[in-house]
Amino acid sequence: MSTFPDPTRTPHGPAYEGRLLDRPEEEVVDQGAPFDIRTLMSRRMVLSLVGLGAGGAVLAACAPSTSSAASTPTVTATAPATATPSPSATTTPTTAVPAAEIPDETAGPYPGDGSNGPDALADSGIVRQDIRSSIGGGSTAPGVPLTFALNILDMANGDAPFAGVAVYAWHCNAAGGYSMYSSGIEDETYLRGVQVADADGRVSFTSIFPGCYSGRWPHIHFEVYPTAADVTDSANAIATSQIALPQAACEAVYATSGYDGSARNLAQTSLTADTVFGDDGGALQIAAVTGDTTKGYTATLTVRVDTRTAPTGGSMGGGPR
């Protein structure tokens, strides 16, 4: 989504696919996340009317992945938190609903959402499924492949799939550094991206397995916004939380090259001692992970969001990362 053709000229100013540019003085690629999202949603609408056909390849660059490795489950709102779906050749797999709303957590000092300095959400190209590379050029973060997916549920509407919410996700690289902030990668924007939930409330990102830095359990940050348009202001987030990665997968990844120091840092902490997950050992935030270090991993987490409660998380400009 970071490459667009030249805009067309209209009596009201330059436009792209019939939509006036938010920043007429800038190129199409510099219009920011809101313009990207409107373009994405318009393309989805067209494809829903005419079928995927040849246009499917265009949408694939921005829409959540639907590969068999991370297929979309059907959510059963009445299942208990510990329920295990019963395998059957004639039934659709189900996902157990967590016992409570996803805990509110700090976004830490490196959110890149404009609340603490740099704002990746102002960059065109931030709406993307593959977040391994910096936007518009720059470096690609090396590491063991990881696809992570969130299934967002709307608690205020009986745990229905929360279609249409926008999710901004970000995490550190294999060395524990955050793009836009850490020394030497201040000009990079990798490992950050936005996706809009599909009809099943699902978003998916292609990334790398994050490293483990001193004092924190391996994790991925995310913010949920009520609509695509709300991404322009971090104060609009209806949920801010973190995904915890399970120990076995972390140990396997950190035994590979490129993750220097992560194994040592992991051995010096635990989920129960972590400053973020320690309250309950990350019970509602531990992703289900499958895969291996050769083919990569797939992580999934079901996230319940309750719009009837006031968000208490978000960026604090410091504290836990």
Q: Tens digits of per-residue pLDDT, 34-72?
A: 667 766 665 554 444 444 444 444 334 444 433 333 333
CB count, 10 Å around CB of 275? 15
Residue 248 has a CB neighbour count (10 Å cut-off) of: 9
- pLDDT tens column, 226-284: 998 999 899 999 999 999 999 999 999 999 999 999 999 999 999 999 999 999 999 99
Instruction: Provide the residue ranges of all domains of the chain, joining segments of one domain with +.
Output: 8-60, 68-305
Global pTM value = 0.76
| 189 — pLDDT class (breaks 50, 70, 90) | very high
- One-letter amino acid at 43 equals R
The residues near 319 (Cβ < 8 Å, ≥ 6 apart) are: 106, 108, 109, 275
Amino acid code (one letter) for 120? A
Which candidate, 213, 220, 117, 234, places its Cα nearest to that of 166?
234
Q: Is the dihedral of CA 159, 104, 171, 134 positive or negative?
A: positive
The more confidently predicted of residues 93 and 32 is 32
Q: Are 175 and 260 in contact (CB under 8 A)?
A: yes
- pLDDT at residue 37, rounded to an integer: 73
| 68-305 carries CATH number 2.30.110.10 | no
Average pLDDT score, the chain? 82
Q: What angle do CA 152, 36, 199 make, to 5 degrees?
A: 30
